[in-house]
Amino acid sequence: MSRKIETAILQALANHPGRRFSVSELAGIVYGLQPNPAGVVIVPEAQAAAVRNTLANLERRGRVFYVGRFYESSAARRAGRQPVSMWTSAEAARAEGVRV
């Protein structure tokens, strides 16, 4: 697991307490990816896999938590896109009542 990815994920979660992040949002932060004109971040599969693997490792260590599948935004819901897996920090998970 790359320390760069781990550090960037933990920093993003710490900077936005209580916010849920999708893998694509976290990959955009970690790799500095810019959204297209429609506001969607296109994440290469290899980078998304690296972020997913890091999240799984951090979850095993109790640093991040999977909180379920949600729509990224109301616009995503209206556009008919599927809900995505969302992740949050330990503190935010406790505040939401997720069993930690």
- What are the sequence ranges of the domains in the chain? 3-96
Mean pLDDT of the chain: 87
Whether the CB-CB separation of 17 and 91 falls below 8 Å is answered with: yes
CB 55 within 8 A of CB 23: yes
- At residue 87's C-alpha, the angle toward residues 11 and 40, to 5°, is 85
Question: How confident is the model at residue 100, as a pLDDT?
Answer: 54
pLDDT tens by residue, 39-84:
778 899 999 999 999 999 999 999 999 988 888 777 777 888 888 8
Q: Which fold has domain 3-96?
A: Arc Repressor Mutant, subunit A (1.10.10)
Average pLDDT over residues 24-32: 93
Task: List 22's β-bridge partners, or say none.
Answer: 86
pTM of the model: 0.82
